[in-house]
Amino acid sequence: MKTVLVANRGEIALRVFRTARAMGLRTVAVHTDLDATAPHVRAADVAVRVPSYLDVDAVVDAAVRTGADVVHPGYGFLSERATFAAALEKAGVALAGPSSAVMERMGRKDAAREVAVAAGVPVVPSYGIDEDPTSFTYPVLVKAAAGGGGKGMRVVRTAGELPEAVAAAKREAIAAFGDDTMLIERYVESGRHLEVQVMGDRHGTVLHLWERDCSTQRRHQKVLEEAPAPTIDEPTRERLTGAAVDLAREVGYVSAGTVEFLLDSATGEFYFLEMNTRLQVEHPVTEAITGLDLVGMQLRIAAGEPVGLTQDQVRRDGWAIEARVYAEDAFGGFLPQAGTATYVRWPAGARVDHALESGQVVSTSYDPMLGKVIVHGPDREAARLGLIAALDETVVLGLTTNTGFLRALLARDEFRDAAIDTAWLDKHAVPPPGADDARLLAAWVQAAELRSGPAGPFAADGFRLSGPARPPRIELDEPVVVGPDSVRELARSVEAGVVRLETRRAVAFVRLDRGGAEVVHQGQRHVFRRPDPVADAAGATGDGSVVSPMPGTVTDVRVTEGQAVAEGDVLGVMEAMKMELTLRAPYAGTVTAVGVHRGDQVKLGARLFEVTAG
């Protein structure tokens, strides 16, 4: 094995390249036109353009032309496509993953369920898609048989909701996986999402590398992950990991895989959910507690080597927690964000897997994950506090991320006490951090800038943070009180025009410009703009206008001009960064304008529909 091609982009491509370089391997990247200068392209020894990351023929051709011995698929894109694995097998190129036959069986939730039953692993009770929905015990979960990542899933609480839920899940599944086959299972209201990392080789060895808890999730999308699981005892852990190994051995699994389970909090019983036939986004927490390089193990197994470990040699040291940093406004409906990351600063002292740098454009064309911050500590509380501190030092200016939300969630008693289950975030709101402290810190920096600048009639007069009053002029040696804390000049540092201020409890980052200030405080980004008298005097758009809440693609238009609608009726559907959003009528009336067609790309704030009351 001399050359490895990574059939992916972003942080996972960089992650694989890091291990490949340590193993002395030549690296090959693939990229689309949009990613021609992306970090993963610059990091590789060779880069090959492909029309799409989903183009099986183009990626296989790139592997053959560059002499790749092995292809690592990362996660997402082609990582669970049996057709991709089969094409590589036909071309004589090894895959850092299971065979196409195993991927076909375990990559589909319906076939994987049959394997689990054969292995004696408990499964969630299910219903046939064609059965009478009035006979179901609700709530139920509608989910795509193909793919993963929470796509194509809907919780249904009544028989009347089922048709629309199935239709929406099918649309999402077709877009994400090209397959709209659906399963219907009983939905466990209060449960914990547990998954077991397994690793198998071609010599018949299958090991588990302990479990992870991914219960902190929103709408089936993981938010925080940790290892080990905080709420299970050793007998349950033994049964859980044993079931995962039995399942993997039953199907003859090779390489890294994850067996996912749902633990019913009410009964203490666990059920098989699905198997991910690839590396997981959250694999770093397993690497942290075991000290193993999962990518290195995958590559060596792909080259025909044995795992090289026995089960009792797999250690479990300390605790690790991972936070996924996304380009999304978590306190604004979790809507995807796009734009230029004008300044990026990742924390020191933590593991950060990312592919985002200052000046980089974040597009809605790909998944919104920007990076992952992982902290390993001697126990769970040390890891939790360490991750809070790391997120305080995570800064992205130019667009909004969910960092402040992650920080606030980690600081909650419910997470500290491991009381959050899979449904918690769908039922509870995490309050956003207030803007007052951030505004005061920006005013302090502005005052310092004014005092250190030139005097006279041409001196800068700053900006208005809020209201008519100018920010206070503060002596440089005078502390600014922020809650119980204070900020002093001695705690100030500057990098690339961004001021870092340190308090006893948290840090803040402030950048001033002619239009106002941009502040990141406790991970949350705040933008304070100078009032624009022209914009303030302009008339507001009509109340009946339905505008795009995010940049994205219109996937469905349900109405025509002149059509009567009731309040809440679906006008259309749009999608961005794998998130589907339904656009509804604000009140009963008539559709007087339809400004889009299916397939249109729209910008944030674009007027899509107009509804006139009456």
Q: Contact, 608 vs 581, CB < 8 A?
A: no
User: How much is the pLDDT for 531?
Assistant: 55
Tokens 């997120």 identify what position?
391
Q: Higher model confidence: residue 226 or residue 588?
A: 226
Write 354-358 long-range contacts (CB < 8 A, 24+). Answer: 354/11, 354/14, 354/325, 355/9, 355/10, 355/11, 355/13, 355/14, 355/38, 355/39, 355/40, 356/396, 357/39, 358/496
Phi, psi of 229, deg, nearest 5: -75, 135
Mean pLDDT of the chain: 88
pLDDT category at 486 given cuts 50, 70, 90 is low
Q: Higher model confidence: residue 578 or residue 504?
A: 504
Distance CA 601, CA 596 (A): 9
User: How much is the pLDDT for 462?
Assistant: 45
Reference 502, options 510, 492, 512, 494; nearest CA is 492
Mean pLDDT value of segment 138-147 = 88
Distance CA 348, CA 345 (A): 9
User: How much is the pLDDT for 368?
Assistant: 87
Mean pLDDT value of segment 402-428 = 96
Distance CA 376, CA 367 (A): 26
User: How much is the pLDDT for 579?
Assistant: 63
Distance CA 375, CA 350 (A): 5
Which of these ranges, 151-155, 221-225, 339-343, has the smallest mean pLDDT?
151-155
Tokens 């090209």 identify what position?
178
Distance CA 46, CA 56 (A): 19
Mean pLDDT value of segment 328-333 = 92
Distance CA 155, CA 100 (A): 31
Distances (CA, A) of 522 to 276, 434, 489, 509: 34, 10, 19, 9
The pair of three-digit structure tokens given for residue 286, joined into one six-digit string = 């397993």
Task: Give the other-Cβ count within 10 Å of 456's Cβ.
Answer: 6
pLDDT category at 492 given cuts 50, 70, 90 is confident
SS (H, E, C) 16-76: HHHHHHHCCCEEEEEECHHHCCCHHHHHCCEEEECCCCCCHHHHHHHHHHCCCCEEECCCC
User: How much is the pLDDT for 461?
Assistant: 46
Reference 421, options 165, 179, 214, 210; nearest CA is 214
Q: Contact, 350 vs 325, CB < 8 A?
A: no
SS (H, E, C) 53-70: CCCHHHHHHHHHHCCCCE
User: How much is the pLDDT for 110?
Assistant: 85
* Residue 317 clears pLDDT 80, i.e. is over it: yes
User: How much is the pLDDT for 536?
Assistant: 35
Tokens 């310092």 identify what position?
448
DSSP helix/strand/coil, 570: strand
User: How much is the pLDDT for 219?
Assistant: 84
* Residue 540 clears pLDDT 50, i.e. is over it: no
Instruction: Fill in the DSSP letter of residue 286.
Output: H
Strands 335-336 and 328-329, by their bridges, are antiparallel
Compute the residue count for the chain: 614
Distance CA 462, CA 579 (A): 39
Write 410-413 long-range contacts (CB < 8 A, 24+). Answer: 410/224, 410/321, 410/323, 410/384
Mean pLDDT value of segment 119-139 = 92
User: How much is the pLDDT for 487?
Assistant: 64
Phi, psi of 488, deg, nearest 5: -125, 160
Distance CA 374, CA 371 (A): 10
The pair of three-digit structure tokens given for residue 141, joined into one six-digit string = 């979960």
Burial annotation 120-129 (CB, 10 A radius, 16+ → b, else e): ebeebebbee
The pair of three-digit structure tokens given for residue 174, joined into one six-digit string = 């077709």
Instruction: Fill in the DSSP letter of residue 123.
Output: B
* Residue 475 clears pLDDT 70, i.e. is over it: no
608 CB contacts (<8 Å, ≥6 apart)?
Answer: 546, 547, 548, 554, 571, 572, 574, 583, 594, 595, 596, 602
Q: Contact, 117 vs 190, CB < 8 A?
A: no
Across the strands, what pairs with 435?
none
* Residue 588 clears pLDDT 50, i.e. is over it: yes
CA angle 550, 556, 557 (to 5 degrees): 100
Tokens 């604004």 identify what position?
332
The pair of three-digit structure tokens given for residue 103, joined into one six-digit string = 């991927």
Q: Dihedral angle at the C-alpha atoms of 233, 236, 239, 244, nearest 10 degrees? A: -90
* Residue 485 clears pLDDT 80, i.e. is over it: no
pLDDT category at 396 given cuts 50, 70, 90 is very high
CA angle 94, 98, 100 (to 5 degrees): 85
* Residue 468 clears pLDDT 70, i.e. is over it: no
* Residue 474 clears pLDDT 60, i.e. is over it: no
Which amino acid is present at 2? K
SS (H, E, C) 360-400: EEECCCCCCEEEEEEEEECCHHHHHHHHHHHHHCCEEECCC
* Residue 127 clears pLDDT 80, i.e. is over it: yes
Reference 15, options 224, 396, 322; nearest CA is 322
- Mind listing the pLDDT tens digit for each residue in 288-303? 999 999 999 999 999 9
* Residue 318 clears pLDDT 90, i.e. is over it: yes
DSSP helix/strand/coil, 152: coil
pLDDT category at 534 given cuts 50, 70, 90 is very low
Across the strands, what pairs with 256?
199
User: How much is the pLDDT for 597?
Assistant: 92
User: How much is the pLDDT for 473?
Assistant: 38
For the chain, give the percent of residues with pLDDT over 90.
67
